């Protein structure tokens, strides 16, 4: 079981570190808004993974995978949502900023709820996440696996994902990194918008 825990942990970490919709949305909200926005986006992703864990544990992931209609519904909603986020970022102004009374430029922060919702929906509506967790559970969890080990695996997956995105948020919001990227912020916003649109379009053509 210890070996399986290590395997699950490494697979989860490598999956989270790969550039994808979750990576892009956390990066966008952290760089263009604030560290707090990145943190709540990360918590939203973690909460979505919790939902994935629940339906995987009860075998619903297999039902979704075997149902072309359900799979396509999730796929196209997720695709449309990513494209929407990408277009929003692409069409944003130079940066999400306002002028303070002291004539200083200050970033406009997203509310905690919006940040959380974006991270939650970004991960929940991604059928690639469904396929990943289905494969993980099929490989690791057997019919005779004790329930408490299923809880251990699920907790490990959620914690590793959240911790990684927290680390990413803190790195991107470090003052030195912020100063380095400040001049290129408008280009970063456009680039991340293009990435999200690309991920959304790629998702629309995903087959299972």
Task: Locate 208 and state its tokens.
Answer: 């299972």
Read off the pLDDT of each residue in 100-114 and give the average, rounded to a whole number: 66
DSSP 8-state secondary structure symbol assigned to residue 111: P
Using one digit for the tens of pLDDT, what is the confidence trace for 70-97?
888 888 898 898 898 888 888 765 444 5
pTM for the model stands at 0.82
Number of domain units in the chain: 1
Look at residue 162 and tell me if it is in a domain: yes
Look at residue 132 and tell me if it is in a domain: yes
Look at residue 142 and tell me if it is in a domain: yes
Look at residue 2 and tell me if it is in a domain: no
What is the residue range of 149's domain?
A: 34-204
Read off the pLDDT of each residue in 7-36 and give the average, rounded to a whole number: 89
**Alpha carbon distances (Å) from 110 to 63, 79, 117, 118, 206:** 36, 22, 11, 10, 31
pLDDT of 141 reads 67
Look at residue 28 and tell me if it is in a domain: no
Higher pLDDT, 60 or 37: 37
Look at residue 10 and tell me if it is in a domain: no
Using one digit for the tens of pLDDT, what is the confidence trace for 148-183?
888 888 899 999 999 999 999 999 988 888 877 777
Query: How far is residue 30's CA from residue 184's CA, in Å, rounded to a whole number?
Result: 14
Query: How far is residue 72's CA from residue 42's CA, in Å, rounded to a whole number?
Result: 26
Alpha helices in 35-146 (DSSP H): 35-57, 60-66, 68-90, 112-124, 127-140
Look at residue 129 and tell me if it is in a domain: yes
Look at residue 187 and tell me if it is in a domain: yes
Task: Locate 91 and state its tokens.
Answer: 């069409």
């Amino acid at each position: 079981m210890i070996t399986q825990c290590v395997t699950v942990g490494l697979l989860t970490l490598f999956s989270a570190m790969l550039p994808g919709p979750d990576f892009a949305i956390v990066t966008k909200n952290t760089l263009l808004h604030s560290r707090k926005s990145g943190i709540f986006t990360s918590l939203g992703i973690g909460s979505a993974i919790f939902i994935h864990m629940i339906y995987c544990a009860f075998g619903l992931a297999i039902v979704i995978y075997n149902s072309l209609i359900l799979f396509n519904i999730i796929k196209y909603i997720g695709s449309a949502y990513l494209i929407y986020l990408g277009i929003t970022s692409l069409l944003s102004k130079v940066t999400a900023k306002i002028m303070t009374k002291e004539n200083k430029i200050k970033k406009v922060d997203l509310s905690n709820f919006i940040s959380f919702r974006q991270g939650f929906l970004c991960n929940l509506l991604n059928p690639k996440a469904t396929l990943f967790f289905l494969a993980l559970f099929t490989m690791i969890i057997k019919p005779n696996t004790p329930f408490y080990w299923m809880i251990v695996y699920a907790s490990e997956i959620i914690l590793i994902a959240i911790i990684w995105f927290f680390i990413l948020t803190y790195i991107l919001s470090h003052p030195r990194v912020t100063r380095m990227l400040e001049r290129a912020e408008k280009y970063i916003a456009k680039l991340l918008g293009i990435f999200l649109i690309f991920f959304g379009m790629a998702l629309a053509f995903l087959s299972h």
